[in-house]
Amino acid sequence: MNLHVVIGFGPAGAATARLLAERGHTVKVVTRNGRPAEPGIEHVALDASDGARLTEAVRGATALYHCAAPPYQRWVRELPGLASAACAAAGATGAVLVLLGNLYGYGPVDGPLTEDLPLAATGPKGRVRAAVWEQTQRLHEEGRLRAVEVRASDFFGPGVTDGGHLAARVVPRLLHGKSVSALGDPDAPHSWSYLPDVAAALAEVAGEERAWGRAWHVPTGPARSVRAMADAVAAEAGTAPATVRGLPPAVLGLASLASPLMRELKEIRYQFDRPFMLDSAAYEAAFALRATPLDAQVKATVDWWRARLADGA
């Protein structure tokens, strides 16, 4: 039984910590404010950007999973410090550093996204996302730490409550037979990474030395549009057929005046205006994990949201 440390307890951090605990590992979760203990998981309150304190929390760990994500409007300011502290802790303790990344670093791309594409983002969030990995990979190549990055597309699944694509502002409305709005073109193919598969990929590469030193894409099923995903959710829920409307640029512009989140989404609107497709063939050729079938994803997500709404959450 090994110690695993997870930074962050958002959807991905929580799913990863709980998966590791279910597998019999000792798990420590680091968050700024801490949380009550739960079976198999110790919650520790500390600022993960404090490299010295984080290093003490990580001592003795086999792996360190960096799943922390500052609020969107603070990404550029806070993400580099968090990443630097994680690198320092991994280097000092020998824990394998597993970064949870996304696809922003590639910037707009024509065709499927593969791991060998250049990190050519021009927007601030994409540039900082790319810089975090480039710094970490350089330290790995210099022998100062051991690291790997797992990149996911937009999350879908149980536990995904934040974000406006297929989360709190979409799935609950579908369960009540209401219409939903989509950023960009609701019929453009888009890749959705199922949250339990994200957690399973993080856990798998942590124990695979041949995975270290590079980035991998989470095993993700075929790209499906927002409308197709909404139709699948509505069909599973047995509600009225989904009505999905695209959010015009003018409306997004007005919404961004009042909402920091909507302002930040303008940078990545390109991901929803045209096809945005993740290719995970490299991962699937090398490792055991495969994407969960869509019908199982949708059923688990509908069941989770129904239980959450019944509890009044």
User: Rounded to the nearest 5 degrees, what angle is found at the Cα of 63, between the Cα atoms of 56 and 53?
Assistant: 15
pLDDT class of 258 with cuts at 50, 70, 90: low
Which pLDDT tens digit goes with each residue over 36-54? Answer: 889 999 999 999 999 999 9
Query: How confident is the model at residue 72, as a pLDDT?
Result: 80
Asked if residue 253 has pLDDT above 80, the reply is no
Helices and strands, counts by H and E, the chain: 12, 11
Q: What is the DSSP letter of 11?
A: H
Asked if residue 273 has pLDDT above 80, the reply is yes
Asked if residue 14 has pLDDT above 90, the reply is yes
Rg (CA), the chain: 19
Q: Are 153 and 276 in contact, with CB atoms under 8 Å apart?
A: yes
Give the phi and the psi of residue 194 in degrees, each rounded to 5.
Answer: -75, 125
From CA 103, how far away is CA 121, in angstroms rounded?
10
Asked if residue 195 has pLDDT above 80, the reply is yes
- Give ranges for CATH 3.40.50.720 in the chain: 3-156+193-220+278-286
Can you name the CATH fold of 3-156+193-220+278-286? Rossmann fold (3.40.50)
pTM score over 0.85: yes
Asked if residue 163 has pLDDT above 80, the reply is no
Give the phi and the psi of residue 18 in degrees, each rounded to 5.
Answer: -70, -35
Tokens representing 185 are 């073109």
Give, rounded to a whole angstrom, the gap between the first and last alpha carbons of the chain: 35
Mean pLDDT of all residues in 65-92: 94
Kindly report the number of other CB atoms within 10 A of residue 271's CB atom.
Answer: 22
Asked if residue 238 has pLDDT above 90, the reply is yes
User: Rounded to the nearest 5 degrees, what angle is found at the Cα of 107, between the Cα atoms of 102 and 112?
Assistant: 75
